């Protein structure tokens, strides 16, 4: 029997000598010792004698096919990393790969013939140019370990925790860590979790192991949150969560979760900071019992993730009934997504399912940018895998988190400054939204806030006299780190804000609700926030409305102003109006508010240009536009629709309010004609249409109705100025 060296070994079984020799030459150039056989008997003899690190195996062979070889390798408890090669179709190759994984073999990947040398090398080597970490079974523990060894290891604190980062798919910002248990046995070496977790489960040690991991992980997590705050990264750690795996056997022990909750309290954490991950299979073993305990955990505030989703055989009805907050895609699909249409189809179906149920989706096992880009494109929320970072020891995980937060804040600030909105004058397009929000939510203060390095600056400020405050006291510093709305019903009861100068002094904030405003790549550059001087609340419907209004503000942040604005009057042009009016009508329908659309045409305006010149005609159009701004509300949409046509949308306005507006307009145009130096009088025709929320029409239908009414009214005296 040959003595073992540090050189990595590759054993090849392929009945095609040319293919086998090609694999051999590629691996030898990379420093591997290689043996190649076309005969299964010799292959298994070398397997026993030589102890290879890697195996390259052809599926289709005459004496013993690859599936049979895989079964025999599993029977022999082979720990080598296996690369499956074949010229068969992709679905058959993927099925063989799944068969290998289900046999407990260490599958590195599948390689469809013909292949390139680079594709083969990528399976032999990791992304950093060194042998793949799964290709070193010799460094894993090989001596047997027992339940007594594990119990002693827990007492001697031989187990430790590593932390794998999770990031936002769109922005790359840190959203959490998964805590993973590891065991370094003094004699057996590093014992992998797939050996000691089953021991713990079958010998009543799993709850003790879970508490051990929780205690260590929560202690580290509390410290890293403090360091993020203290290191002035520009970010707050509120939205970062710690994920910990929970065994199905532990669901029966309610006292365990009470101790976990107490452990959170001891570290000044809340259950909101913790994600409990359960496998799909374990959650479905007893759906009724699971429903009871999981519901109680969610009521306490814990987040619940269904892990390895897509590999079990659960009833979809049962899945929908259980109160999970996150779906975690099984890595077997993620790791094959780049080359498998089947895997991509499954992934997209699960992401769509999660979105439809209001669940966050996390993909684990991401090892290449193509897969990450695909997940980003289909709307997956979070990413985890070697491409992001490997599981890290505590001190390295802390440094990784600090650097990631600094980089995220730098990207966010770059996006903010690229908007070129800071320190610009107030704009009606933002003020219109804050006016609308004030009416809808009945609060005294509504702000569109942009957050830079040192301050929160108010692009639209309704209800405050100040234009900015220092960032260290800004509620929005917290809001931008939330994926969703930050809701503070009573600031005096919230330790984060009860001593804030904006709470103890002017404007005496007692209620706050803020929704992040994001640019196209997902970075939050500011907030839309509601503020009151007394405690308050937002129900689910109100929160949906705030999200919708924040979406309208996001559109304005990124709008090409020149493309949506009439250059002569500075009103919206047709394109700008139609986009915003469509959103406003949809919001009115949701609120069950009526709305009125007015269509105005200046009469015989062509003769003004012909008789008095285009310069005087342009001046008249500008004065008419200014008059419309004065007559109508700031929350109303006003646009120059064509050469001498104007259109207005009055949200939350009934028929009487529309008639009152036309009266004000008639008086204002009469005043304009008396006071102006024009050698002519402006006259107009007007038509209007109303939105009935019980029988809603779309924008084009309302425009057509208002236009038709305008022509019908053209010769009637109430449609003209006098």
- Token pair for 217: 């992980």
Report if residue 259 sits inside a domain.
yes
Distance in angstroms (rounded) separating the CA atoms of residues 63 and 13: 12
User: Which pLDDT score is estimated for 695?
Assistant: 86
Report if residue 146 sits inside a domain.
no
In this structure, are 487 and 614 located in the same domain?
no
| CATH number assigned to the domain comprising residue 474 | 3.30.450.40
* Pick from 665, 703, 692: nearest CA to 581: 703
Distance in angstroms (rounded) separating the CA atoms of residues 283 and 267: 28
Distance in angstroms (rounded) separating the CA atoms of residues 233 and 405: 6
Please answer whether residues 455 and 469 qualify as being in contact, where contact means their C-beta atoms are separated by less than 8 angstroms: yes
| CATH number assigned to the domain comprising residue 104 | 3.40.50.2300
Taking residues 463-479, report their average pLDDT.
Answer: 92
Please answer whether residues 169 and 382 qualify as being in contact, where contact means their C-beta atoms are separated by less than 8 angstroms: yes
In this structure, are 537 and 398 located in the same domain?
no
Burial class (CB in 10 A: 0-12, 13-18, 19+), 194: exposed
Poorest-pLDDT segment among 40-49, 226-235, 635-644, 713-722: 713-722
Residue where a domain terminates, one of 108, 139, 170 = 139
Please answer whether residues 11 and 53 qualify as being in contact, where contact means their C-beta atoms are separated by less than 8 angstroms: no
Distance in angstroms (rounded) separating the CA atoms of residues 382 and 371: 13
DSSP 274: E
In this structure, are 480 and 544 located in the same domain?
yes
Report if residue 630 sits inside a domain.
yes
User: Which pLDDT score is estimated for 55?
Assistant: 93
Active centre residues (catalytic): 364
In this structure, are 264 and 379 located in the same domain?
no
Residue at token pair 């009724």: 288
In this structure, are 113 and 169 located in the same domain?
no
Residue 263's pLDDT band, with cuts at 50, 70 and 90, is very high
- Token pair for 175: 């959203």
658-670 pLDDT tens trace: 888 889 999 999 9
Residue where a domain terminates, one of 113, 139, 165 = 139
DSSP string, 72-125: HHHHTT--SEEEEEESS-HHHHHHHHHHHHHTT-EEEEEEESS--HHHHHHHHB
In this structure, are 171 and 300 located in the same domain?
yes
Q: How many CB atoms lie within 10 A of CB 282?
A: 20
Give just the sign of the alpha carbon dihedral 536, 539, 545, 546: positive
Report if residue 479 sits inside a domain.
yes
Whether the per-residue pLDDT at 2 is higher than 60: the answer is no
Report if residue 632 sits inside a domain.
yes
| CATH number assigned to the domain comprising residue 655 | 3.30.70.270
Please answer whether residues 458 and 449 qualify as being in contact, where contact means their C-beta atoms are separated by less than 8 angstroms: yes
Report if residue 283 sits inside a domain.
yes
| CATH number assigned to the domain comprising residue 233 | 3.20.20.450
666-707 pLDDT tens trace: 999 999 999 888 899 999 999 989 998 888 889 999 999 999
In this structure, are 663 and 694 located in the same domain?
yes
In this structure, are 390 and 268 located in the same domain?
yes
Residue 143's pLDDT band, with cuts at 50, 70 and 90, is low
> What range defines the domain where residue 350 resides?
325-383
* Pick from 46, 126, 311: nearest CA to 57: 46
Distance in angstroms (rounded) separating the CA atoms of residues 674 and 623: 13
Q: How far is CA 487 from CA 429, 560, 590, 695, 720, in A?
A: 25, 31, 22, 34, 50
Distance in angstroms (rounded) separating the CA atoms of residues 713 and 497: 58
Please answer whether residues 245 and 161 qualify as being in contact, where contact means their C-beta atoms are separated by less than 8 angstroms: no
In this structure, are 68 and 169 located in the same domain?
no
118-128 pLDDT tens trace: 788 888 874 33
In this structure, are 496 and 379 located in the same domain?
no
Please calculate the CA angle 705-711-717 and round it to the nearest 5 degrees. Answer: 120
305-357 pLDDT tens trace: 988 776 554 546 556 778 889 999 888 889 888 888 888 998 999 999 888 88
Report if residue 147 sits inside a domain.
no
Whether the per-residue pLDDT at 421 is higher than 80: the answer is yes
Q: How many CB atoms lie within 10 A of CB 615?
A: 9
Distance in angstroms (rounded) separating the CA atoms of residues 10 and 23: 10
In this structure, are 389 and 446 located in the same domain?
no
In this structure, are 290 and 340 located in the same domain?
no
Report if residue 659 sits inside a domain.
yes
Domain total of the chain: 5
């Amino acid at each position: 029997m040959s003595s073992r060296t540090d050189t990595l070994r590759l054993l090849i079984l392929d009945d095609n000598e040319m293919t086998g020799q090609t694999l051999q030459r590629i691996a030898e150039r990379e420093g591997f010792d290689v043996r190649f056989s076309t005969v299964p008997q010799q292959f298994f003899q070398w397997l026993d004698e030589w102890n290879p690190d890697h195996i390259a195996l052809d599926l289709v062979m005459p004496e013993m096919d690859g599936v049979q070889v895989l079964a025999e390798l599993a029977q022999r408890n082979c720990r080598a990393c296996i690369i499956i090669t074949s010229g068969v179709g992709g679905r058959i190759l993927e099925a063989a790969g799944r068969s290998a994984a289900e046999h407990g073999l260490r599958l590195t990947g599948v390689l469809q013939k013909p292949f390139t040398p680079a594709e083969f090398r990528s399976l032999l080597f990791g992304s950093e140019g060194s042998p793949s970490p799964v290709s070193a079974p010799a460094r894993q523990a090989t001596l047997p370990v027992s339940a007594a060894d594990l119990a002693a290891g827990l007492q001697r604190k031989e187990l430790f925790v590593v932390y794998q980062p999770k990031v936002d798919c769109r922005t790359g910002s840190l959203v959490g860590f998964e805590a993973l248990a590891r065991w370094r046995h003094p004699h057996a070496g590093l014992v992998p979790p797939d050996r000691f977790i089953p021991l713990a489960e079958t010998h009543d040690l799993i709850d003790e192991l879970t508490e051990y991991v929780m205690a260590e992980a929560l202690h580290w997590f509390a410290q890293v949150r403090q360091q993020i705050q203290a290191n002035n990264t520009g970010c707050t750690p509120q939205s970062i969560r710690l994920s910990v795996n929970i065994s199905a056997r532990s669901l029966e022990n309610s006292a365990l979760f009470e101790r976990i909750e107490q452990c959170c309290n001891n570290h000044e954490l809340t259950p909101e900071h913790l994600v409990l991950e359960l496998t799909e299979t374990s959650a479905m073993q007893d759906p009724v019992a699971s429903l009871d305990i999981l519901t109680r955990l969610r009521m306490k505030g814990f987040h619940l993730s269904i892990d390895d989703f897509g590999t079990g055989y659960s009833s979809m009805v049962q899945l929908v009934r259980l109160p999970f907050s996150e779906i975690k895609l099984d890595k077997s699909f993620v790791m094959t997504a780049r080359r498998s249409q089947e895997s991509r189809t499954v992934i997209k179906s699960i992401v769509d399912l999660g979105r439809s149920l209001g669940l966050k989706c996390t993909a684990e096992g991401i090892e290449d940018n193509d897969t990450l880009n695909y997940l980003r494109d289909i709307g997956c929320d979070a990413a985890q895998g070697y491409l992001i970072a490997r599981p890290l020891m505590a001190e390295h995980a802390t440094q990784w988190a600090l650097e990631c937060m600094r980089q995220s804040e730098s990207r966010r600030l770059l996006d903010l400054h690229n908007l070129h909105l800071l320190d610009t004058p107030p704009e009606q397009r933002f003020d219109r939204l804050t006016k609308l929000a004030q009416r809808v939510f009945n609060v005294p203060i509504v702000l569109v806030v942009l957050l830079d390095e040192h301050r929160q600056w108010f692009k639209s400020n309704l209800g405050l006299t100040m234009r900015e405050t220092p960032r260290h006291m800004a509620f929005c510093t917290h809001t931008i780190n939330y994926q969703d709305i930050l809701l503070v019903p009573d600031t005096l009861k919230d330790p984060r804000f009860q001593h804030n100068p904006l709470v103890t002094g002017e404007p005496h904030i007692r209620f706050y609700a803020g929704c992040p405003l994001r640019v196209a790549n997902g970075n939050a550059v500011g907030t839309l926030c509601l503020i009151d001087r007394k405690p308050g609340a937002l129900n689910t419907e109100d929160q949906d409305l705030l999200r919708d209004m924040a979406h309208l503000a996001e559109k304005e942040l990124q709008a090409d102003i020149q493309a949506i604005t009439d250059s002569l009057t500075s009103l919206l042009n047709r394109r700008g109006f139609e986009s915003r009016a469509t959103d406003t009508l949809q919001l009115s329908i949701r609120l069950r508010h009526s709305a009125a659309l007015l269509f105005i045409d200046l009469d015989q305006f062509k003769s003004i240009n012909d008789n008095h010149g285009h310069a005087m005609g342009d001046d008249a159009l500008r004065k008419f536009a200014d008059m419309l701004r004065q007559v109508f509300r700031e929350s109303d949409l006003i646009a120059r629709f064509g050469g001498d046509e104007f259109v207005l949308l009055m949200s939350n306005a009934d028929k009487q309010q529309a008639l009152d507006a036309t009266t004000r307009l008639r008086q204002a145009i009469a005043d304009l004609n008396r006071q102006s130096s024009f050698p002519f009088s402006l006259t107009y025709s007007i038509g209007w249409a109303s939105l009935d929320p019980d029988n809603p029409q779309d924008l084009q239908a309302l425009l057509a109705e208002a236009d038709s009414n305008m022509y019908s009214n053209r010769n009637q005296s109430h449609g003209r100025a006098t």
